[in-house]
Amino acid sequence: MTERTPLLHYRLSTSVNESELRSQAGQQAPVHKPGSQGRRAAQQKQQKKLSTFFGVVIPTLLSMFSVVVFLRIGLAVGQAGLYQAIAMYVVAYIIICMTVLSVCAISTNGALDAGGAYYMISRALGPEFGGSIGIMFFLANVCGSALMVLGLVEAILSTFGVPEAGNVATSHYQVLPSGYWWSLLYGTGIALLCLLVCLVGAHIYAKTTFLIFVIVIVVLITVFISFFAVHPQSITLPDLKPNATGPTTANFTGFKLDTLLGNIWADYTVDYTTQTTMTFATVFAVMFNGCTGIMAGSNMSGDLKNPSYSIPRGTITAVIFTFIVYIMLSVLVACTCDRLLLQRDYSFLRDINVWHPFVIIGVYSSTLSAAMSNLIGASRVLYAMAKDDLFGKALWLAKKTSHSGNPWVSVLISWFLVQLVLFSGKLNTIASIVTIFFLLVYAAVDLACLALEWASAPNFRPTFRYFTWHTCILGIIGCAIMMFLINAIYASASIAFMLLLLLLIHYLSPTSSWGYISQALIFHQVRKYLLMLDVRKDHVKFWRPQILLMVSNPRSSVGLITFINDIKKSGLYVLGHVQLGDLNTLPSDPLQAQYESWLSLVDHLNIKAFVNLTLADSVRHGVQHLLFISGLGGMRPNTLVLGFYDDCLPKDKLIDPSMSSPQSTDPSAPSQELEQPPLFHFASLRGSSNRLDYGEFGDGKVLGPQEYVAIIADAMKMLKNVVLARYFNNFDRAQVLSPPSCTPGKRAVYVDVWPVNLLRPDSCSYVDTCSLFLLQLACILNMVRDWRKATLRLFLCVEEGRSVRGPEEKLGQLLKDLRIKAQIHPVPWDQQVALHWQRQGNWGKKQLDATTEEKNLQPEEEEDEENEEDYVNSFPSNATRVSDDYLSAVNKLILDQARPQPAVRFLYLPRPPADTRRYTAYLRQLELLTQDLGPTLLIHGVTPVITTDL
């Protein structure tokens, strides 16, 4: 039997394994039809009857032997020698065994369904990996079926085909015409035969599995017997290509020491079928194909009596048996056959067999069964992916099944693709691709097992425990090495194709209910690193804002939520919400049902934030709860952000125009709210006012000014920075950062910073902790990519008679030391200060004149917050009060400097008064100060956040 295409090696058989089993696995999911319950029950009862031997050992042995054992067993010894051949088998089986351990572990961790490797990987690694590997597995089976068909055509033509021009017929059986189109015709006929069998049902092939196994074992027994029973003889070698010269015969010597010694060492030569020089890598790639097929048993899990018991024992038994057979055959071949025979006749086992047709029968039967099983396997993988809806409507036709549950549409689609592959006409063209695809699947199984092991999920407790993460890594590395050893270009292209599919499924597929291993791994790693994040090692150089933003109703807070997302600087960002109520009087926690809407809001706004909800008897107590409990370890909020307390009517920013009813444009209409998706399931804003964005609650309680200021005071007592945000109800980030027109040569976006306590002109300082915190937040905003083109304007308030140049130069040097780019604008405010002192009188002014100049622009260490509070409390009760005229004048001063209008303003927020009776007056002062200023942040910092050190 002369071979025209060499290396039937690459994948002449791996497909049997994976496929024949999937064929039967697919029977387990019949479509439920009325009136067929009795038949289904009978089928299910019959399906669960396979033992370890029939359900695992036989399919795995068939898939691992196939035609490679008959046509390529002498290649390794003839080219690499006995020593290297045995070493190749040992290395190959080490690689395979690592994957076997992973398969056994996953298969004993739960019930498997149709789809084999796809099902295991998708349920372990999620739909992205599962879908991408499923496509690769499907294509591998399609190409594997075509490979088997081409191999069978080649084997038939080598025996019955008319010789090529220049060659002489050696048998009167050689009657079949040869050529590309004739080979395509023969291949199409074989593929149609496989299609008919698969359309009738996978059970037909399942019933012949044992018969095929018996045939293969009988042929193997005759091969072993032949080494001892056949006498030494001279064997005619296959014809070389036309005009080629060389020996025409070689010897089968029987058992001789000289023959063994001649076959011990490597002797790589030109392959007689491809005229290419063989190397260790090419021979190893050929031989490796006889070691694959290990996933056959796991694909039979639905038909086994006890999958957890059968799969590990059956698979390992088959692997050990095949290893022993390959080693024994290698030794027998090395002891009995001339090296020339091994190198020049890959079908020598037929020539030395006690009855030559035995080997031919083995080749034909194993190849045909492999072709059918690959076709069935491809259809079952496609059907499994279609059921999972990973590709939406693209595979909806593949879901259709017959009354018996056979996915006939998937079979037709798979057969059509097999027919397309047959047009390639060259076995070696697709052999390496098939091998690489299967190796990629095996590596993915190892990766799935590794991920489950590393995630330490409590529910991952397989009964098979003879594996570790080391074996998984060795399996991945081994499969990767083999892929690139076979063909580096194909391997790289396959991986790139898989990654492309992964991204495509990630963005297009619906959310699955299988569970995501990525979440388990992230949880495991985050917990570990949170424990390593020691708050005692915090340093001011690496400070970043970690923000808790209190939100009552997101409908009116979209602008503020998106803006605060810009100043978090990769820090913690928590959306906090307080719902008034008492759990003792409620049947269940009302917050649990709200999390989905809040998380959908986070996704919709495309922000990186967590959500923390709490139930309390008052807003103040709720905010205290959240400040105490939000975050873990070193990741806790250090800054509290509140909406301003005023009477501005909130505006609904979560209205989806597409959800509006044609009859009504009222955003608060009940009919509209009922039609909106879960994202917008937040309470209506009707009748509410902007009280910290908390308005009116369901029980009628309203947050009062006293409680609001108490929240600010509580946060400062807890050493939290405080930010009050006003006029963000109309803030539109996209509109601010993309103005309709820009003046040529000028930047269109400005951020104004007033780092001085405007309520205390008698104790102003630009370098105290609060002022520097103000500068830091403005700088952080300016570092965000979308805000980089914004210009920081820093306003320096000076009084008449004092040098402007000195403070400006000092402030400029400070900004330079802090690496902050900003324009300094001196602002005279004598008129405003005069209004302040008219109210205060001249008490203490003479004392302050001598100290203010000295204190202004001094290092922040000299301005202690406790000293400031003592200083404030040392004044008489009326000394700390500022008049409405003064506040209105300062407000007008700020507005007068807004040319052009800034996108946002940063103002200094003084501490609330120690006397709680003054809270309402304090809040009124802040309201007058910020009247009509547009988006404004009032900021108070309590901790150092800036350093000039390297």
What is the mean pLDDT of the segment spanning 633-652? 86
Residue 57 predicted with pLDDT over 70? yes
What is the mean pLDDT of the segment spanning 280-304? 73
The pLDDT tens digits for 887-909 are: 888 899 899 887 888 999 999 99
Residue 348 predicted with pLDDT over 60? yes
What is the mean pLDDT of the segment spanning 511-525? 73
Enter the tokens of residue 648. Answer: 């501005």
Pairing status of strand 936-940 against strand 721-726: antiparallel
Check residues 895 and 347 and name the one with the higher pLDDT. 895
The pLDDT tens digits for 352-390 are: 888 888 888 888 887 887 787 778 778 888 888 888 877
Residues with Cβ within 8 Å of 166's Cβ and at least 6 positions away in sequence, in order, are 242, 243
What are the angstrom distances between the C-alpha of 176 and each of 157, 173, 193, 238, 450? 7, 9, 19, 19, 52
Lowest model confidence (mean pLDDT) among 403-417, 428-442, 587-601, 732-746: 732-746
What is the mean pLDDT of the segment spanning 940-946? 85
- The ranges assigned to domains in the chain are 79-163+172-238+245-506, 548-651+692-721, 746-839+879-949
Distance CA 36, CA 42 (A): 10
Q: How are the residues of the chain apportioned to helix, strand and coil, as percentages rounded to the nearest 5?
A: 55, 10, 35
Q: Which fold has domain 79-163+172-238+245-506?
A: Amino acid/polyamine transporter I (1.20.1740)
Q: Say if 79-163+172-238+245-506 and 746-839+879-949 have the same CATH topology.
A: no
Residue 654 predicted with pLDDT over 80? no
What is the mean pLDDT of the segment spanning 168-190? 79
Check residues 843 and 885 and name the one with the higher pLDDT. 885
Check residues 562 and 113 and name the one with the higher pLDDT. 562
Confidence of residue 668 (pLDDT cuts 50, 70, 90): very low
CATH of 746-839+879-949, one of 3.40.50.620, 3.40.50.261, 3.90.1300.10, 1.20.1090.10: 3.40.50.620
- Res 769: pLDDT: 85
- Res 551: pLDDT: 92
Residue type, 748: A
Mean pLDDT computed over every residue of the chain: 77
Confidence of residue 530 (pLDDT cuts 50, 70, 90): confident
Enter the tokens of residue 190. Answer: 């074989």
Residue 159 predicted with pLDDT over 60? yes
Residue 337 predicted with pLDDT over 90? yes
Residue 206 predicted with pLDDT over 70? no
Task: Name the strand (E) or helix (H) holding 578.
Answer: strand 573-580
Confidence of residue 925 (pLDDT cuts 50, 70, 90): very high
The pLDDT tens digits for 746-776 are: 557 899 999 888 887 766 567 788 888 888 8
Lowest model confidence (mean pLDDT) among 4-13, 190-199, 217-226, 704-713: 4-13
Closest CA to 414 of 388, 372, 375: 375
- Res 25: pLDDT: 41
pLDDT over 70 percentage in the chain:
76
Distance CA 840, CA 881 (A): 8
Distance CA 450, CA 474 (A): 10
pTM, entire model:
0.65
Residue 225 predicted with pLDDT over 60? yes
- Res 801: pLDDT: 60
What is the mean pLDDT of the segment spanning 87-93? 91
CB atoms near residue 370 (< 10 Å): 32
The 3-state secondary structure of 331-366 reads: HHHHHHECHHHHHHCCCHHHHCCCCCHHHHHHHHHH
CB atoms near residue 47 (< 10 Å): 17
Residue 724 predicted with pLDDT over 60? yes
Residue 187 predicted with pLDDT over 60? yes
